[in-house]
């Protein structure tokens, strides 16, 4: 395929096989119409961007019944509170003339900290149901995909932005050029554009191939982000690693030359050189590590099952769709997956059709083993479950 960013020829790397929509939890009567696509990845040796070869239409993933609400995890609520507070303190944003924009503002979990103190703000969120939740939280939100036209409309109504923020959004957008064009015009001359997404370095180090699913069209490194936004006159002046989503990176960009490049950028560049994130050999080893994980995980579950143990899943994450479908794990091995999100409950997991049960069902049950699909929330979940007591083993 040609690179989505720089149009050079890419090299195919990991192929995870036929995949359904990661967040496409479904009813029995929808099984026959379920859509699948080839979950293949590629690496561009020119701009160093790791990307999906094929992605389903955005409308199939982000729609009026989109199943992902940012505020379902207490840790994520705290994370976004901290993010807002760090913006306010680091960049002196608590001023009467400040204008803050968030792309993919979800249910307003971050922006409400600006709304609460009366700062002019705008959330731009394509999924109608989460956007409605944001409005109920008092967060000014429009239901749109962000691009240059939306940026022009926003400028007309509110002026240019001091801060454009996006969390777990940029890696979802195939046409980053249109977003870059929008950011380029919407940002004040001394404004900052900050975004965070799952980090390629973490995925390689942890073999967390479950970061790869339809919504994540890219897994960025600092090097790829620098290359992607250079053509929009933007440069990275700070990076900050995050523990969220199993290892993320926050990138701070400004117009070229507007701010000194901070030490964190040099440090991360060295890390990336050490990890060889710019080299094909890294992706060949990653592919082997994925195959080994599949063998090990499937072997472990099969052995436990043969010993007559009951295994259930914990948290029907989007990531679990990749693991379950890639490894071919269905309800013969994992009886059900419990999840706290009401719209996933009493449905079936995409592709493998494992029943999704409410958390209360799990509380009353006493399985022998629990596979933790929400391993990125391990700290929160293990604290909760060890406080609740009970037997069984949880492993991620
Ligand atoms: P994510 O990893 O894609 O953000 O999905 C998180 C899912 O995990 C979401 O469906 C809610 C679920 N979850 C639980 O069921 N119990 C929990 O304690 C936590 C933290 C998350
Ligand atoms: Zn490229």
293 C-alpha to ligand 2 centroid (Å) = 29
What CATH architecture applies to the domain 281-395?
3-Layer(aba) Sandwich (3.40)
Q: What is the 3-state secondary structure (H, E, C) of 261-328?
A: CCHHHHHHHHHHHHHCCCCHHHHHHHHHHHHHHHHHHHHHHHHHHHCCCCEEEECCCHHHHHHHHHHC
Tell me the average pLDDT across 213-238: 97
Atom nearest to 344 CA in ligand 1: 10
Q: How far is CA 59 from CA 73, 133, 254, 339, in A?
A: 25, 19, 31, 24
What CATH homologous superfamily does 70-275 map to?
Answer: Vaccinia Virus protein VP39 (3.40.50.150)
Q: What is the pLDDT of residue 389?
A: 59
Indicate if ligand 1 lies below 6 Å from the C-beta of 377: yes
372 C-alpha to ligand 2 centroid (Å) = 35
Render pLDDT for 29-52 as a digit per residue (tens, 0 to 9).
999 999 999 999 999 999 999 999
Whole-angstrom Cα distance, residue 65 to residue 172? 17
Same fold across 70-275 and 281-395: yes
Indicate if ligand 1 lies below 6 Å from the C-beta of 214: no
Indicate if ligand 1 lies below 6 Å from the C-beta of 179: no
Atom nearest to 359 CA in ligand 1: 15
Tell me the CA end-to-end span of the chain in Å, nearest whole number: 34
Lowest mean pLDDT among 72-81, 106-115, 134-143, 205-214: 72-81
* Ligand 1, atom 7, residue with closest C-alpha: 317
Q: Where are the domains of the chain?
A: 70-275, 281-395
pTM summary value: 0.94
Ligand number nearest to the C-alpha of 322: 1
Render pLDDT for 158-187 as a digit per residue (tens, 0 to 9).
999 999 999 999 999 999 999 999 999 999
Indicate if ligand 1 lies below 6 Å from the C-beta of 262: no
Render pLDDT for 107-116 as a digit per residue (tens, 0 to 9).
999 999 999 9
355 C-alpha to ligand 2 centroid (Å) = 40
* Ligand 1, atom 19, residue with closest C-alpha: 73
Q: What is the pLDDT of residue 57?
A: 77
The mean pLDDT of the chain is 94
User: Which residue would you say has higher pLDDT here, 394 or 124?
Assistant: 124
Q: What is the pLDDT of residue 61?
A: 67
């Amino acid at each position: 395929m040609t690179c989505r960013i720089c149009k050079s020829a890419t090299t195919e790397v990991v192929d995870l096989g036929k995949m359904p929509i990661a967040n496409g939890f479904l009813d029995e009567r929808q099984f026959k119409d379920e859509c699948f696509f080839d979950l293949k990845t590629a690496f561009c040796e020119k701009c160093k961007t790791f990307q999906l070869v094929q992605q389903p239409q955005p409308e199939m993933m982000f729609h009026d019944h989109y199943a992902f609400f940012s505020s379902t995890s207490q840790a994520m609520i705290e994370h976004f509170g901290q993010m807002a507070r760090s913006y306010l303190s680091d960049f002196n944003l608590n001023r009467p003339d400040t204008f803050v924009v968030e792309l993919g503002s979800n249910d307003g979990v971050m922006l409400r900290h600006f709304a609460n103190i009366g700062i002019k703000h705008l959330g731009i969120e394509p999924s109608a149901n989460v956007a409605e939740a944001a409005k109920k939280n008092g967060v000014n939100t429009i239901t749109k995909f962000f691009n240059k036209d939306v940026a022009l409309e926003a400028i007309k109504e509110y002026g240019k932005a001091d801060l454009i923020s996006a969390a777990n959004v940029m890696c979802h957008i195939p046409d980053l050029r249109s977003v870059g064009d929008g950011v380029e015009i919407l940002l004040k001359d001394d404004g900052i554009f900050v975004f965070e997404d799952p980090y390629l370095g973490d995925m390689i180090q942890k073999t967390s191939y479950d970061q790869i699913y339809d919504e994540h069209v890219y897994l960025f490194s600092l090097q790829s982000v620098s290359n992607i936004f250079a053509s929009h006159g933007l440069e990275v002046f700070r990076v900050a690693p995050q523990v969220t989503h199993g290892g993320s990176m926050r990138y701070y960009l400004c117009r070229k030359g507007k701010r000194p490049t901070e030490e964190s950028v040099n440090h991360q560049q060295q890390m990336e050189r050490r990890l060889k994130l710019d080299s094909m050999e890294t992706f060949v080893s990653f592919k082997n590590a994925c195959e080994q994980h599949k063998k090990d995980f499937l072997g472990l579950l099969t052995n436990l099952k043969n010993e007559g143990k009951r295994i259930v899943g914990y948290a029907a994450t989007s990531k679990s769709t990749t693991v379950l479908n890639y490894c071919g794990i269905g309800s013969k091995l994992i009886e059900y997956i419990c999840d706290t999100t009401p719209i996933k409950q009493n449905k079936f997991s995409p592709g493998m059709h494992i029943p999704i049960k409410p958390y209360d069902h799990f509380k009353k049950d006493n399985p022998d083993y629990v596979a933790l699909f929400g391993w990125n929330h391990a700290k929160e979940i293990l604290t909760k479950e060890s406080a609740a007591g009970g037997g069984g083993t949880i492993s991620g």
